[in-house]
Each structure stands twice: as C-alpha cells, then as structure tokens.
Structure 1
Amino acid sequence: MFVSFFPQPKLFFTSAAVWSLAAILFWFFGGEHLGAFFGLPPAAAGEPPVVGIAVLWSTPFLWFYIYFAFCVLVFYAFWRWYSPHPWQNWSILVAAFILFLIYFNVQISVAINDWYGPFFDYIQGLMAKTMESTDTEFYTKLATFAWLALVGMNVQVVNNFIVSHWIFRWRTAMNDYFMSNWTRLRHIEGASQRIQEDTMRFSQIMEDLGSSFIQSIMTLIAFLPVMIQLQAHITELPIIGAVPQPLVIAALGWCLFGTASVMIAGLKLPGLQFRNQRVEAAYRKELVYGEDHADRAQPATTAELFANVRHNYFRLYFHYIYFNVVRYTYLQADNIFSFLILGPSIVAHKITFGALNQISNAFGKVTNSLQFLLNSWSTIVELQSVHKRLRAFEATLEGAPLPDLDQRYLARQGVKDPA
C-alpha cells in the first residue's frame, strides 16, 4: 500500500515527521526573524494584525513562503539522492504543494477571524447608536470579507482537484505493484476485488482522512496563538474558577472527553466492518460463479450466504445505535459549549460583540481540530477494515503469515498458506 508510492515508507515517514518538526521549531525559535536579513521582517510586537486580503502578501507571509519552499526542496533533494523512486515527484513535491494550499486556506480562516473583531464591534456601535456610518463604509467592510472568502473558495477548489489526481496516482501505483505480483496473490480470497475495489476505497479514504488530519493540525497551530491572545477577556471558567490559559484548558478537556467517549462507544465497529466486507465478498463471489456454472449459486447456498450478510448488517446497525447516540449528543452539546465558557464574562460585560465572535470562532476552530478522531471515527473504522484486506497481499509478498481470517479461508479451500 505504501511501498508502491513512497520510497522506503517507514524511514520516509519518520524522516518527514522529524524534518517537519525541526522546521517548525526552527521557525518559531529564530527562523521567523531571519527574513529581516532579506528585507522581509516579521510583524512588529504589539502591531495590530493586517485586516483583509493584503495580509496574504505581507512581508511575514512572503518570507514564510520562501522558507517553506526551501525546506521542501532540501527534503526532496535528499530522497532523490538517497533512494530514488518513480513516484517521488508526486509523493513529495505534489504532496508538499497540497500541504501549502491547506496552510494557505487556514491562514485565510485566521484573516477572517481577525476581520470579525472590528467588523462586529462596528455593527454593535451602529445597533447601539453610538457610532455613525455610511452605506459606502458598510459595504466596503463587507467587501473585505468577500475577497477573503472568494480567494479561500477558489484555493479550496484547486486543492481538491490536485488532491484527487494525487490520490489516483497512489491508486495507480498500488494497482501496478499488486498486478506485477498477480501470480503470487491470485490464490487469496477475493483477490480481484481487493485490487480493483479495495485499492480504490483505500485511496479515497486516505484522501478524506489525510486532508482532514493535516488541516486539523495546521488549524490547531494557527489558531492556538489567536485563542491565547483573545483569552485576555476571560478570567475564570464556570465551576472550576480561575485557571491559567482558561480557553486552552477548556478546549483540551472538552475534546479529550468527547474523543474518549466516541472511541469507547465504537470499539466493536472495526471488526464488524471487516466481517461485513467478507460476507459481502463471499455472497458476490458465489453469484459470479453462478453466471457461468449451472451448479453454482443454488437457492440453498445463496440463501445461507445472504443470511450471513443480513446477520452481520443487523449486528452493525445495533452497535451503531449507541455509537451515534454518544457521538451526536456530544456534537449537539458542542454547539453551545463556548457560550457556557464565556457566560460569566458576557454577564459581567467584559467582552464586546466583536470579541465574542472572534473568541467563539477561534474556540470552534481549535476544538474542531482537536476533535479529528471524533469526527472521523466512522471513516477510520472503514479504513481499518480495508487495510486488513489489503494487508493479506502485503503479508504474501513479505513472506509473512496471512491474517487469521484469510488462513481459515485457505484451510476451508484446502490450500496451504504460502508463508
């Protein structure tokens, strides 16, 4: 699944994680200020943020673009020298460009959050009749948001297009790799389905999960400093009282509670999803044989196979009941959690309407990024089941024992495990 598209996957992903961490730490502990040597200094301390589309080509942003490109090219050059791979342009360069577009969209979200404060304070002043304005001024302020939203929307469209092509290249690499070893894999139950359907599903799920995970990490990195700055308006938490970093503590505690609850509620789902694919594959295989052989797909056989399908689906539906109760209860409570946290400050008149919108938006971005496992648990369950099926191919090619379920299938067919 990975060796077909990435050079030496274990070492590659380890080195990518270490290099990324080093680049991030260096940026925050000095790299950001190196731009001053090239005429691209960071924003001065205490300087208010640039509001509007101009922030995207301000000097701190231009320096980060150069820094990001340099780090990517160094990493690419190392792997091109150390372990050349036919797909490394896609697995490294295009992947890095996708990461950059995700980062760019996250920064647009931060720029929109910066726009919230002055705009909604302006709205509050108009509604309270403490401020005078004109139609032109009002629509000019709205246009600031419109430009940010327009750029963000188009960047997202471009990113989705590139990601779709990147994922299909990965599927192509998997397909070519497995088909080049078809003679060693054809004995595995449902081999044709695993190559045709499971590689497609694996790549599609990785597209969804991978993009969501990276966006969650970048959103967390971008919005945590914003939330720390905004929590100057918050002095204590309800019930708990005064604590350091109250918004950060509240976000972490709330997200850990939700994620743990959903993971516990969904413990049985991966195994049931995997079994579901097996019983569906067995039923489909018998029907395919019945197309060419009159003695196959007899009523008694198909009835038994379909009964297995029905039994597993009904078990799956039952376990999804309490899983969805836990998940959707938490998500509904999440809609008002930030107001529970901000309640004492609102009642005490400590925050303005603009600050309220900024804090609520930043808090929502941070908690949503921390809730990646909670929001993606159903998809992760499906990925686990697909991975188990494709893992049988990898075990065969590595000379390792097949998974238990595949071994039992071969035993029923009178075939010995090649390992």
Structure 2
Amino acid sequence: MTTTPRPRTDWHAVWQLIKPYWSSEEKWKARGLLAAVIALALGLVYLDVLFNAWNRDFYNALETKNFPEFREQLWRFSYLAFIYIAVAIYRVYLMQALEIRWRAWLTRQYLDEWLANQAYYRIEQTRSADNPDQRIAEDLQYLTNGTLTLSLGLLSSVVSLASFVGILWSVSGPLSFMLSGQQVTIPGYMVWFAIAYAGIGSLLVLWIGRPLVQQNFNQQRYEADFRFGLVRIREHAEAVALYRGEQQEKTQLGNRFQQIWQNWWTIMRTTKRLNVASNFYAQFAVIFPFLVGAPRYFSGAITLGGLMQISSAFGHVQDALSWFINAFSQLASWKASVNRLAGFHAAVIAARDRVSGIPVTRNNVGAILLDGVRLELPNGASLTEALSAQIHESQRILVSGPSGCGKSTLFRAIAGIWPYGSGSIEVPNGARLLFLPQRGYLPIGTLRAAISYPAAETAYKDLAVRHYLELCKLPHLADKLDEPDNWSQRLSPGEQQRLAFVRALLAKPQYLFLDEATSALDPDTEERLYALLLEELPEASIISIAHRPAVAKYHQIHWQFVHDVPHGEQLADAMQQQNYTIQPSRLPVQ
C-alpha cells in the first residue's frame, strides 16, 4: 500500500469531525444521553465532596475514640458507597450507549461519502489516502471513544477542581515563615503547592511525551499495511501457491512487520520515559500533602481528621490539575487517529466532489454519443487524442489496440467513473448499461446473491437462473444457489467469467460492454457464449474489447486504437505521451 504523510490537523478540522452528529437528526437523543452522562459525572464529583467530609469526621472519631460516632460514620460510608457504585455503573453504561450510537451514525455517514460518486475508486486511483478500511473501522471508534472519555474526564477534572480548591484553601490555612527578617504569610498555601506541583509535572510530561503523537500515527499505519498484506495473500492464495511465492510473501510481510517492530520499540522507549516521570509524580503526590501539612498537625493547629481531609482535598485538586499528565498517552493516540481521520475525510470529500472532466449526461437521441473525448491519466498525462464516435442500438462493435492504449479507460469513461480528461459523453435516457470486466466481482454470500449482484438476491426467479446456468455450461452450480461462500475464491477464472454472462443474460441490458470478458475461456466456449448473447439479446448493443480473431465475426464494426504520430515539431511530444486515436472500419458480415 502507498503510504501518506501525517497531515497537519488544526482544532477547527477536529471540530468539523465532531460537530455533525450533534446537529444531526439524532441530536436530541444524543444530547439527552450526553446530559445524563454529564449529570452522573457531576454526581460522582459531589459524592467525592461528601467522602472528603466523611474522611474528616471518621478520623476525628478515631482520634477521640468516639465509638458511637465511629459506628455512625461506618453506616454513612456504606450508603454513600452504594450510591457511588450505582452512579459509576450507569455513567459507564450510558456513555457506552452514546458511543455506539455516535459511531453507528458516523459509520453510515462515512460509508455514504466513501461510496458516493465512486469516491472509493478515485481514492485508489490517486492514492490520496491509505487503508480506508482501517480508518472507517478503527479510527471512527477512536474518535468517538476518545472524544467522550477525554472530554468527560476533563469536565470532571474542572468541576472537581472548582469543588475542592475552596475546601483545600479553607482547611489548609495560612503558612507563615521568616524571610530576610520579615514574616511572610501564604494564605491557602496547599492550593499553591498543588498548582506548582501539577504545573511542573505537566510540563515535564509534555516535553517527554510529545513524540508519541507521531509515533502512534505511524504505528496505526504500519499495522494497517501489515494487515493488508495478510489479506492480499488470502485473496490471492491460489496464485501465490502456483508461483511458489511463499518466500517472497514472507519477506514482504517480514519487512512490513519490521516497521511495526522498530516503531513499537520507539514507542516503548518514549513510554518508559513517560512512565518514569508520571509514576514518580503520582507516588510522590501520595506523601506530599502529609509533608506540607505535618507542621500544622504537630503544632496542634489541625486535628487528625483535618489532616486527612487536607490529604483527600489535595489529592482531588492535584488529580484535577494533573488531567493532562494522566490522559497524555490516550490523548496522543486519540490525536493520531484524528489526524488520520481528518486526512481521510478530506480525501473522500475531494474525490466525491471532484468535477469530472468528462461529464456523462442523458439524451433522447437513442444512441451513446462521444464528443471530443480526450482521456488522461490521474497524473494529467495524455492517453488519447480527442475521440468522437456513436454507438447505436443493436450495433456490435469490436474494440482492439495495443495494451495500455486506453480501451478499458474508454469503457470507464462511458460508465462515468473516469473523470480524468475532457469532452462529453451522452447516454440515452433510461438506457440500461452493463459492464463486464475481465475480472468480475462476486460478493461474499450465497451464490444466488453473487449472480444477482448488483440487483437484490431475489431479483430473478430460480427457473431463469438455472436455465442460464445450464446454457453457460455451469450446470454443476444449479444446486448451490443458497450456499454462502467466498465465490471469487471458490470458482475458477473461467467459471467466474461464465457466471458474469449469466448475470448479463438475466439483467438484459440495452448496452453491454465486455472488457476481455472471455479471456479465461477456451475458443469453443467463447464462441458459444457470444452466439448465446446474439440469440438472447438480439436488440442489445454489444461492445467488446477482445484480441482473438474468432470474436470478430460476432461484430459489425471495428474500432482500432492506433498510435497517432503527427508530423513536424509535435512528433517527439506525441511519441513521449503515446497518444492514441480510434480508427473505425466495417467488419465483413458473417
């Protein structure tokens, strides 16, 4: 797979990824679920405040050996704990419900955009985005899960900070000391210690962990490339086996996994340094409030319960201020996924909204009209000179020419999926066109669904399907119509091409385009199928790309692509660009 560099994504682009769902047709359900999750998150913060007060009363009861108060505080802790557990459970449950609804909506939207206007095809042609399967399947999950987890975590930290900073300010009291012969008093000194402690830790973590964003971006890309290589072997297992290409495939897969290995070790080293800083920060935070609060406790200014309340409040303030430190690894993974998703989304939109240089419109003439159609490659290189031609009803046209001259590309332009070039194409209004490529597509599922594609599985009656299977020399498949399988792997190339003819005979198109659709067949079967087309579809226009002379007798007109070599100064340019033009001629009537 061709890889693409990491795009630079600003927060406006991130917001454009997040915003659509919250203003969609599901906005009220989404906002309701989000409000419920936020309410539960705030409820957990409120319960933490109650637990903070409980800490003071419980340890004061221990210090004074007040057993009735001790027993009362145990009961108080029990019902607070049950409420906390229930709120915590439903907060996670409702957040997961919101996440899957958001992901489902995004998946539908991205699939619609990816499949609209053949954007998926154009992206593959231009290589503007790598591994779209991973971006839709995984990056959308990271976007929804990471956005909810990080944003709700940040909200809880902000509310927790607002709730506990006042408590910490009041219970910690002032700190007085002599400096240069003058008494200095710092009110609410524990708050300032917490801010300084968290600030230093955040800067240290940012400095150490910044490379993780790029490293996670690369890791996702390398994982996707490795998985793609494995899928390719599965899809082309027979060809690899016939070529005895196992060693070459092993080497290629080994090289791709080596990228995973090397980048993973880079992530490990960065993560190790990050963990050294964050774990040291977290462990020292446990003892830090006792160190700075001990002087006031031993001086008798505060009770044991007051010291424990200070410790608890300091912990909540420090945790709130340390949100960036605690969430940095997840934030780095989320940002890498968002970067990939933003690049993919931009590529899909550009491909979907690309204005075709060869528009295909409808007419009432009753013929396909090509007017000055000039074919180009995606890189802008010219492929043909301007082509003008007509395809009338019931015409049978043979298209030939050297490999790479633009024969198949002309079919793609008529189908409306090749935007690179200029000119115009008109297709009869309401006309049914069917294209049979050299290698057809058989979806995974029942054989009936594969034959009916792209129509519904129940589009054709069994009697008709069995009849054409018999005529196309596939009687052994008649009893397998309801068997699910990967038919592109199970059937031989020749069987797949005969199955494509079954599909054409059932669909009965008015214009049938065959792009070397019989290349895997023996001459006798090829002639049988062409004769069958003329017999079953006598009114259809048949346009064939073929190289075997025997096929010519089933056609009336010959379009031959020839190298257009002008005279004079343009000769060198024409030879370099390999421009071709159509030379029409009549074939002998058979």
Aligned to 2:347: 396
The 8 Å contact of residues 185 and 393 in structure 1, kept in 2 or not, is answered as: no
What is the letter of the counterpart of residue 193 of structure 1? Q
Shift of 1:327: 1.7
Structure 1: distance between partners of 2:177 and 2:99? 44
2:71 matches 1:120 = no
2:108 matches 1:176 = yes
Shift of 1:416: 5.8
Structure 2: distance between partners of 1:237 and 1:338? 18
What is the letter of the counterpart of residue 373 of structure 1? F
> CA, structure 1 residues 261+92, in 2 after alignment: closer, same or farther (shift >3 Å)?
same
2:136 matches 1:167 = no
Q: Residues 365-376 of structure 1: matches in 2 within 5 Å? A: 365-376=316-327
Shift of 1:92: 2.0
Structure 2: distance between partners of 1:245 and 1:139? 32
**Residue 163 of structure 2 aligns to a residue in which SS?**
helix
Structure 1: distance between partners of 2:257 and 2:178? 54
**1:371-419 CA distance string (max 9 Å, x none):** 000001010111011111111232125549xxxxxxxxxxxxx96699x
2:222 matches 1:206 = no
Structure 1: distance between partners of 2:178 and 2:63? 26
State which of 127, 133, 154 in structure 1 corresponds to 2:86: 154
Aligned to 1:235: 175
The 8 Å contact of residues 238 and 340 in structure 1, kept in 2 or not, is answered as: no
**Residue 175 of structure 2 aligns to a residue in which SS?**
coil
> CA, structure 1 residues 237+369, in 2 after alignment: closer, same or farther (shift >3 Å)?
farther
Structure 2: distance between partners of 1:99 and 1:208? 11
What is the letter of the counterpart of residue 267 of structure 1? R
Structure 2: distance between partners of 1:348 and 1:321? 42
The structure with more strand, counted as a fraction of residues: 2
Aligned CA-pair RMSD: 2.5
2:34 matches 1:92 = no
The 8 Å contact of residues 172 and 293 in structure 2, kept in 1 or not, is answered as: no
What is the letter of the counterpart of residue 322 of structure 2? Q
Q: Residues 230-269 of structure 1: matches in 2 within 5 Å? A: 230-232=171-173, 234-236=174-176, 242-269=185-212
**1:43-73 CA distance string (max 9 Å, x none):** xxxxxxxxxxxxxxxxxxxxxxxxxxxxxxx
State which of 310, 319, 333 in structure 2 corresponds to 1:359: 310
The 8 Å contact of residues 170 and 188 in structure 2, kept in 1 or not, is answered as: no
The 8 Å contact of residues 106 and 218 in structure 1, kept in 2 or not, is answered as: yes
**Residue 5 of structure 1 aligns to a residue in which SS?**
helix
Structure 1: distance between partners of 2:272 and 2:379? 40
> CA, structure 1 residues 112+254, in 2 after alignment: closer, same or farther (shift >3 Å)?
same
What is the letter of the counterpart of residue 276 of structure 1? Q
Q: Residues 371-390 of structure 1: matches in 2 within 5 Å? A: 371-390=322-341
Structure 2: distance between partners of 1:192 and 1:171? 15
Unaligned runs of 5+ in 2: 1-16, 124-128, 352-376, 381-418, 420-590
2:126 matches 1:194 = no
Aligned to 1:107: 46
**Residue 181 of structure 1 aligns to a residue in which SS?**
helix
Shift of 1:343: 2.5
> CA, structure 1 residues 185+212, in 2 after alignment: closer, same or farther (shift >3 Å)?
farther
Structure 1, 207-216 or 96-105: larger mean CA deviation: 207-216
> CA, structure 1 residues 367+236, in 2 after alignment: closer, same or farther (shift >3 Å)?
farther
State which of 66, 71, 75 in structure 2 corresponds to 1:139: 71
Aligned to 2:296: 345
The 8 Å contact of residues 169 and 187 in structure 2, kept in 1 or not, is answered as: no
Structure 2: distance between partners of 1:324 and 1:153? 29
Shift of 1:265: 0.6
**Residue 351 of structure 1 aligns to a residue in which SS?**
coil
> CA, structure 1 residues 169+238, in 2 after alignment: closer, same or farther (shift >3 Å)?
farther
Aligned to 1:2: 18
Structure 1: distance between partners of 2:281 and 2:306? 26
Structure 1: distance between partners of 2:233 and 2:311? 60
Shift of 1:305: 1.2
Structure 1, 304-313 or 178-187: larger mean CA deviation: 178-187
Shift of 1:211: 2.5
The 8 Å contact of residues 108 and 148 in structure 1, kept in 2 or not, is answered as: yes
What is the letter of the counterpart of residue 366 of structure 1? V
Structure 2: distance between partners of 1:324 and 1:169? 34
> CA, structure 1 residues 415+224, in 2 after alignment: closer, same or farther (shift >3 Å)?
farther
State which of 267, 270, 283 in structure 1 corresponds to 2:213: 270
Shift of 1:241: 5.9
2:288 matches 1:288 = no
**Residue 31 of structure 2 aligns to a residue in which SS?**
helix
> CA, structure 1 residues 4+354, in 2 after alignment: closer, same or farther (shift >3 Å)?
same
Aligned to 2:263: 312
Shift of 1:140: 2.6
Shift of 1:251: 1.0
Aligned to 1:322: 273
What is the letter of the counterpart of residue 244 of structure 1? P
Aligned to 1:10: none
What is the letter of the counterpart of residue 220 of structure 1? L
**Residue 185 of structure 2 aligns to a residue in which SS?**
coil
**1:14-68 CA distance string (max 9 Å, x none):** xxxxxxxxxxxxxxxxxxxxxxxxxxxxxxxxxxxxxxxxxxxxxxxxxxxxxxx
Q: TM-score, normalised by structure 1?
A: 0.71
Structure 1: distance between partners of 2:198 and 2:349? 39
> CA, structure 1 residues 238+104, in 2 after alignment: closer, same or farther (shift >3 Å)?
farther
Structure 2: distance between partners of 1:319 and 1:165? 34
Structure 2: distance between partners of 1:309 and 1:342? 49
The 8 Å contact of residues 4 and 173 in structure 1, kept in 2 or not, is answered as: no
> CA, structure 1 residues 209+357, in 2 after alignment: closer, same or farther (shift >3 Å)?
same
**Residue 242 of structure 1 aligns to a residue in which SS?**
strand
Higher Cα Rg: structure 1 or 2? Answer: 2
Structure 2: distance between partners of 1:206 and 1:182? 23
**Residue 325 of structure 1 aligns to a residue in which SS?**
helix
Structure 2: distance between partners of 1:323 and 1:238? 38
The 8 Å contact of residues 237 and 341 in structure 1, kept in 2 or not, is answered as: no
Aligned to 1:334: 285
The 8 Å contact of residues 178 and 195 in structure 1, kept in 2 or not, is answered as: yes
> CA, structure 1 residues 320+199, in 2 after alignment: closer, same or farther (shift >3 Å)?
same
The 8 Å contact of residues 219 and 366 in structure 1, kept in 2 or not, is answered as: yes
Count of residues in Structure 1 that have an aligned counterpart in Structure 2: 320
Shift of 1:215: 1.2
